[in-house]
A and B are shown apart, each in its own frame.
Chain A
Amino acid sequence: MHVWKSLGERRGLIKKTKAEFGEELPVGESVRQITRRDFFRFSGLGFAAGLAISCKSKAVEKALPYLNAQEGLTPGVAEWYATTCQGCSAGCGALVRSRDGRPVKLEGNPDHPLNRGGLCAIGQAQTRGLYDSARLKQPRMLGRDCGWNALDADLAARFTAIKARGGKVRVLGGTLLSPTLKGAIQGFLGEFRDGKFVAYDALSCAAIPAAYERTHGTKVLPHYRLEEADFLLGIEADFLGTWIDPAGFTRAYASRRGPDNPRPMSKHVQAESGMSLTGSNADERIRLAPSEVVPLLECLAAALGSGTPGENLRNDLRIKATALAHDLIQHRGAGLVVCGVNDLYAQILTARINHLLGNDGHTVDLTRPSLQKQGDDRALAGLIKEMGEGQVDAMIVVGANPSYDLPAGFSIAFGKVPLRVSLALTADETAIACTHLAPEHHWLEAWSDAEAVAGTLSLVQPLTNPLFQTRNALESFLAWGGRPASSLDQIREHWRKDVFPRQRVVADFEAFWAAALQRGHVQLEGGSSAPAYREDAKASLRERITPKPAAYELLLMAKVGLGDGRHAFNPWLQELPDPITKMTWDNYLSLSPAAAKGLGFEQGDVAALRPEGQPELMLPVVVQPGQDDRTLAVALGYGRKEGGPKEWKAVGGNVYPWRSLAGGFLTAGPGALQIRRTGARAELAATQDHHSLEGRELVREMALAPYLRDPASARPHEQPGPSTYADHPHGKHRWAMVIDLNKCTGCSGCVVGCQVENNIPVVGREEVARKREMHWLRIDRYYEGSEAEPKVFHQPMMCQQCDNAPCENVCPVLATVHSEEGLNQQVYNRCVGTRYCANNCPYKVRRFNWWEYPHNGEIERLALNPDVTVRSRGVMEKCSFCVQRLMAAKIQAKNGGCELKDGEAQPACMQSCPAQAIVFGDVQDPGSQISHAMRDPKRFLVLGELGIGPAVSYLTKIRNAEPVESKGSHHGA
């Protein structure tokens, strides 16, 4: 049947446009079809690959990334390898796209049981840490570059001397996920009479294992199973943003946030002092001061029949706590209380509450505990004491930067250790205080393994030859322990001995190894037996710290982009707008609107903040709606000075020294806080200045109960206006996207994923302040309601690929045109840069190259995606729905001689979304996921009434709360 779309076409006046690229896909065909152009293209890529490989320093190891895929390798065609992300200690499974021997893009491994395909912003940005010219390029001894042999010889002599006199050797590390590395460290330390490994986390959760030691007799961090929770109470725990395992938690959390799922939609209540990403997604938020966490928990426990409620709790909080306890009892065994405060008593109470609610074994898994935070703050305190007393003879720091992120006492004590070795990748704050630097590989260059949750093991495989003369940490410890071996051999050995026997599925180790390497992980059966509850409540009460009453309390938080600060020199992460404040490139003091008013501050004023016994720090003020009025919040992870590029200016101030180990756990010091106005103003680099929806129906929201009564009531009523122009003819595919606002948490992983995939330049602080950030995909965040307790909306916004795109008909030179697959294509070569398209874009998603953005040095440039053009000055750019990925998928399907299947073509944002909030596909395929999503009654268009026909649509946010007021819905409730 020939469908005609206009009278002109029917009468044959309009000839169907000849599909220019519809049939022939020029890339990736067999070699005999290579044209002269292709030849040069491949030669160029070969040169780039050569550049990467030519940095290698030693003989080619047997195990290269091409281990399994050497055959059929085509230059210019990407290869994918499974590995484990080491960007933080969460240990998410990752897939790395490698182009001609260099990794260019990280994505979540859909098979990995923890993150199931999602990857957070920090994970996505890891390639920039690999291609970093500020990395140490060779070992260094007493301030002088040296070779590995010299370093090893020198260290061997020193270790021998220490052994001889029975001295103390300490290894201080962050959370090390690799069992093999931990084994090697233990092996090395075993040579000494007094050798000990101490782990700590800059963002410490050490109070949780300590609490479980008290309550259950086992010092473990439970694996919280958010996917099992019908009722979720988060207390100061930013589990969607920065706490323990954000990507994994987001995945689990989002799986229960759909109102149409077979399992009921979870209810999420968040009690917190600052406005965290997690709090912004909660169905209900309770504001409290940090000092009110313990009284609230006490009140909850009392309502559940344990202990007495504390005296000093506000009445409204007491009422809320009673109501919460009621709700929690209703969801016995399917509720979960998580607390992010690093306070032993608070964690004991949390553990007790979860026990009382019967959550142990359901939502709180103690048999297969999490290993994602292995820090032990008490051991750390002991170590600092030991060092301070001059008892430690040698100290090796691996995977941590204690001089930066521990209280000042550490650095003083550290100086008293005669032999200080750092394995850091860069000359960071700790490394410059060390005598010996033995830089380890970036994890994308190294063999390793990881056990993030007991029983879930994964492998880390190198994606490129080491760029510099660095050495795998594992090999360093093996060498210093006197048993030098290659890291691959060591890991295989460990897996053969310890991992392989713990499974029954595969009988042959080689097959087991190959499968593990290919899939990236193995899941082992069994676990430890469930520990019984055996708390001594009286002893617990002795851990209660009663804080001194103060007008203002300090909250030291972590930020989504920067985490603990180890990636502070990663420009992608610095330029990532904070999901809540939308600030980039800065650390600031967050104040609630009332507190700002009370203290006489306005947004952008510079405040001088001074905790007792600390030097004053100048910070710009950011007024944060929804924050507690007594809380002054500052983010950790800023103010890094060492280990970055030479021209780098320190970003923000470091508030790690404001923490103390006095109570046994790393927390903000208890001292009084002084704050004063300086009268100065700072320019803040925010990507969004206006936070109100202005009463516009740009996002829609509805309460759960009326939705469940009548899902069709969510359907928007307004009709798009008519169009002057006829519909575009559509070819084989027509791409569309649906974003589920119920699942999207605003975590911003997609923003970095998009930036990496599409070679989007970083523009720097000044340019962001001028509102010239280049992100193709941004997340709009709106507040609604009162300033004190606003509702928060996150809305990912990118080119909506309109059918009647306003940008298309205003371009004088046809530089932006419609494809027959429904894409709005930007032709960089043709663009003359009138910016009319950007002016006429109602979504303001087009980005102009104001300058020739430098893509940094020779090494940093290697992070560029060779599939995407680097745009030059003066041209417009924007989201392309990752057209290069669509092309690649189509080519692959064509080469395979089959039709493109649903889900094979995925834009970067969709692939990496930890919440799986994005559905993308071909609407002309009636069975596709996208076609299903398009029929969802919750679906609405942003500015659909303009009649421009956006191909991106959104699903109404359903809140599991009382239907007080609902926006944009017509359910009559």
Chain B
Amino acid sequence: MAPDDHTSALSGAGLIEDQQDRGYGHVLPLIEGDKSYSQVTEEVFSTTERMPPLKWWLALSVSLSLLLLGVWAITQTVTRGIGTWGLNRTVGWAFDITNFVFWVGIGHAGTLISAILFLFRQRWRTSINRAAEAMTIFAVMCAGMFPIIHMGRPWLAFWATPYPNTRGPLWVNFKSPLLWDVFAISTYFIISLTFWYLGMVPDLATMRDRARSKLRKAVFSVFSLGWNGSNRTWSRYETVYMLLAGLSTPLVISVHTIVSMDFATSVIPGWHATIFPPYFVAGAVFSGFAMVLTLMIIARKVMDLEEYITLRHLEAMTKVIIATGMIVGMAYGTEFFMAWYSGNSFERYVFINRALGPFKWAYWSMVSCNVIIPQLFWIRRVRTTPWMIFILSIFVNIGMWFERFVIIVTSLHRDYLPSSWAMYSPTFIEVAIFLGSFGLFFTCFLIFTRLLPVIAASEVKGVLKHGEH
């Protein structure tokens, strides 16, 4: 057995019959091109071993530029003050927390794909889970940045963590949803990172084995944790992976539930709603899958991975999108119904104002992008045409950003006392920080694609139709 082939003995292979074998004729193949194990190894790992092509450099320069713009804007914010943003005495959060919730939502697909779909034995996840998990980690990094920089005194952000200090009884406020956020987001980040890393260990071992330079070998030796491909190793690995998947599963629910409580536990009409936790979780899965689609469609094209990330994967994800999109749409309707049914005039006003007030353009953009446009996925041709999926996924990304903007800004700008009603418009600094977060995300992602295997080769090998190598 060639040293680079010892990762092929994935115990899960063959446990569950591929649905394609059960006679669902229309189901597309998971991996195309009739690959052999060595072919998979070569194709997945060789990209990490050669100089990146020009188009990669171009993409990196664009995203690095955005990142630099964001760094400049954050520097402005930190050195001059939150005054550089468009916020005011009435609207205390806008782009900052919108972006935070947006990125946390994006980060949701990774865990869902890697943990829940793993537990449900959804084998189509194998080609996309590595990239989706990476996406999660980078998205959570982007998200985590916003609660820190939105603070008036971000250099004191560590006060929001419960650490032993000399201030006597002065600690953190366990009643505050913002504190719950600190725990939820940091837990999520740590678990996601661990999960991602552990899932990569067999592939890291392959990289170690393929390494030519001493340094590369040394580095990957450390990170592959002495993987030797033995049955014992595989068995341990499988157990840990399963346990971690079980551990991550509640996080998929908890993180966005807690994020939604930032709003749900307040007294502000439009925020104070018990529907928020499920509504936010569905929305997060919705936006997360949209972002995975956006990224995967680009990646499979740019990195020639069309045979690994097949239409089968794309179609499966569009189905998740249409399901969650309808949950989200129903939540929108329920909110309106409850506003009317509660008889609470403040609540009613907020929703009338959402649909007909000065921010109605944001509201209707949200409804169009999240509820109406995804309905096109009912058409099979749309579901299986990558460029159409790509466009629709962009719409969902936009719509979900607007959803958070609508919830935050339209609820705040006209709340209880009409005397304090005010408008909000972002400044260039705020937009620049938002763009900067995309810069950070894509920079990280691009570096990831060249440094580590984008496809979980060890898992893909388990779903190859023919076990010959």
Identify the A interface with B (CB < 8 A): 688-696, 698, 767, 770-773, 778, 780-782, 795, 797, 806, 809-814, 830-836, 838-840, 842-844, 846-852, 873-876, 942-943, 946, 948
Contact = CB atoms under 8 A, between A and B. Distances in A.
Interface residues of B, number: 50
Interface of B: 80-83, 86-90, 92-93, 147, 150-154, 156-157, 159-160, 170-173, 175-179, 182, 262, 265-268, 345-346, 349, 412, 414-423
B89 A834 contact: no
A690 B419 contact: yes
Given A797-B417, A848-B82, A771 B176 contact: no
A874 B89 CA distance: 13
Contact of B159 (A795, A813, A873, A948): A813
Among A689, A691, A846, the most chain B Cβ lie within 10 Å of the Cβ of A689
27 contacts: A689-B421, A689-B422, A692-B418, A694-B349, A696-B346, A698-B416, A698-B417, A770-B88, A771-B422, A809-B173, A810-B176, A812-B173, A812-B182, A831-B152, A831-B153, A834-B152, A835-B82, A835-B93, A835-B152, A836-B178, A836-B262, A842-B267, A843-B416, A848-B87, A850-B82, A850-B87, A948-B267
Among A772, A810, A830, A851, the most chain B Cβ lie within 10 Å of the Cβ of A810
A692 B93 CA distance: 25
Given A770-B88, A772-B89, A839 B268 contact: yes
A840 B172 contact: no
Contacts of B156: 832
Q: Which 9 A-B pairs have the closest CB atoms?
A: A833-B152, A874-B152, A850-B83, A835-B92, A780-B419, A771-B88, A844-B420, A812-B178, A874-B153
Nearest to B85: A850
Contact of B173 (A688, A772, A813, A847): A813
A840 B266 contact: yes
Chief secondary structure at chain A's binding surface: loop
B93 A839 contact: yes
Given A690-B418, A806-B266, A834 B173 contact: no
B418 A847 contact: no
A838 B349 contact: no
Given A835-B152, A840-B268, A771 B89 contact: yes
A848 to B, nearest CB: 7
B171 A832 contact: no
Contacts of B81: 849-852, 873-874
Nearest to B171: A814
B345 A696 contact: yes
Nearest to A781: B419
Given A797-B417, A838-B89, A843-B416, A832 B345 contact: no
B160 A812 contact: yes
Given A695-B345, A773-B89, A874-B151, A810 B417 contact: no
Contact of A851 (B83, B90, B93, B422): B83
A694 B418 contact: yes
A797 B418 CA distance: 12
Contacts of B420: 688, 780, 843-844
B178 A810 contact: yes
A810 B181 CA distance: 12
A603 to B, nearest CB: 14
Among A780, A811, A832, A876, the most chain B Cβ lie within 10 Å of the Cβ of A832
A695 B416 CA distance: 11
Contacts of B349: 694
B152 A873 contact: yes
A943 B147 CA distance: 30
Nearest to B86: A770
B173 to A, nearest CB: 5
Given A836-B178, A842-B417, A875 B152 contact: yes
B258 to A, nearest CB: 13
A819 to B, nearest CB: 15
A848 B176 contact: no
Among B83, B153, B262, the most chain A Cβ lie within 10 Å of the Cβ of B83
B267 to A, nearest CB: 5
Contact of B412 (A696, A839, A874): A839
A838 B160 CA distance: 18
A700 B179 CA distance: 39
Given A810-B177, A810-B266, A844 B417 contact: yes
Contacts of B177: 810
Nearest to B424: A771
A760 B456 CA distance: 60
A875 B83 CA distance: 12
Contacts of A842: 267-268, 415-417
Contacts of A797: 417, 419
A812 B90 contact: no
Given A812-B172, A874-B81, A844 B418 contact: no
A194 B182 CA distance: 83
A43 B191 CA distance: 55
A688 B422 CA distance: 8
Contact of B152 (A689, A830, A846, A848): A848
Nearest to A17: B169
A71 B337 CA distance: 72
A812 B423 CA distance: 27
A690 B349 CA distance: 14
Contacts of A875: 152-153
Nearest to A876: B152
A874 B93 CA distance: 14
A832 B156 CA distance: 6
A844 B415 contact: yes
B241 to A, nearest CB: 34
Nearest to A774: B89
A420 B98 CA distance: 64
Contact of A810 (B182, B265, B419): B265
Among A690, A797, A810, A812, the most chain B Cβ lie within 10 Å of the Cβ of A812
A811 B265 CA distance: 12
Contacts of B415: 842, 844
A830 B89 contact: no
Given A773-B89, A832-B160, A782 B419 contact: yes
A874 B77 CA distance: 11
Nearest to A942: B417
A838 B170 contact: no
Contacts of B83: 767, 772, 850-851
A836 B176 contact: yes
Given A832-B156, A844-B89, A809 B175 contact: yes
A739 to B, nearest CB: 15
A623 to B, nearest CB: 17
Given A814-B172, A842-B416, A850-B81, 7 more contacts: A691-B418, A696-B416, A698-B417, A810-B178, A812-B176, A832-B160, A833-B152
A65 B441 CA distance: 66
A834 B150 contact: yes
Contacts of A698: 416-418
Contacts of B153: 831-833, 873-875
Contacts of B178: 810-812, 834, 836
B424 to A, nearest CB: 9
Contacts of A943: 416
Contacts of B266: 806, 810, 839-840
A770 B415 CA distance: 18
B103 to A, nearest CB: 18
B82 A839 contact: no
Contacts of A942: 417
Contacts of B412: 839
B178 to A, nearest CB: 4
A252 B154 CA distance: 52
A809 B152 contact: no
Contact of B170 (A781, A830, A836, A849): A830
Contacts of A806: 266-267
A657 B148 CA distance: 55
B354 to A, nearest CB: 15
A916 to B, nearest CB: 24
